[in-house]
Amino acid sequence: MPLTHAKPVTFINTADRKASEAFYRDVVGLTFVGDDGFAAVFDLAGAVLRITELQGFAASPHPALGWTVDDIEATMEHLISRGVTPTIYEGFGQDALGIWTSPDGAAHVAWFNDPDGNVLSLVQGG
């Protein structure tokens, strides 16, 4: 049976589940659903996000999770006010909020990290 209508589950790995739980709940603003003993579980816009602790975990330098937003500037300002530091990549030409604009001006992207260094992103347009 195809998974066309199956509800997705997303996983974020962490070395410190309590720190990640606080970040995704208090900084990002996701709704905490519970802790099933294996993962901190969040509502991710109707999908499930499971944050799982792995001993010795090291984050990848590539994005692990992202969101499409209507107003990337307002969203980055909100996240920065909650302690997020935008990731600035040398040579990308990002603005002070860490927002990169595609050459055709249609897409805007910003990156930031969770406490483990997992790369998270915001996208507007494109």
Architecture of domain 1-55: Roll (3.10)
By the 10 Å C-beta count (0-12 exposed, 13-18 middle, 19+ buried), 87 is classed as middle
Question: 126: pLDDT confidence band, cut at 50, 70 and 90?
Answer: confident
Comparing 1-55 with 63-126, is the CATH topology the same? Answer: yes
User: Which CATH architecture is the domain 63-126 placed in?
Assistant: Roll (3.10)
Contact criterion met (CB below 8 Å) for 79 and 112? yes
The ranges assigned to domains in the chain are 1-55, 63-126
Write down the pLDDT at residue 118: 98
What is the pTM assigned to this prediction?
0.94
pLDDT in tens, 27-58: 999 999 999 999 999 999 999 999 999 999 99
pLDDT tens for each residue of 64-117 = 999 999 999 999 999 999 999 999 999 999 999 999 999 999 999 999 999 999
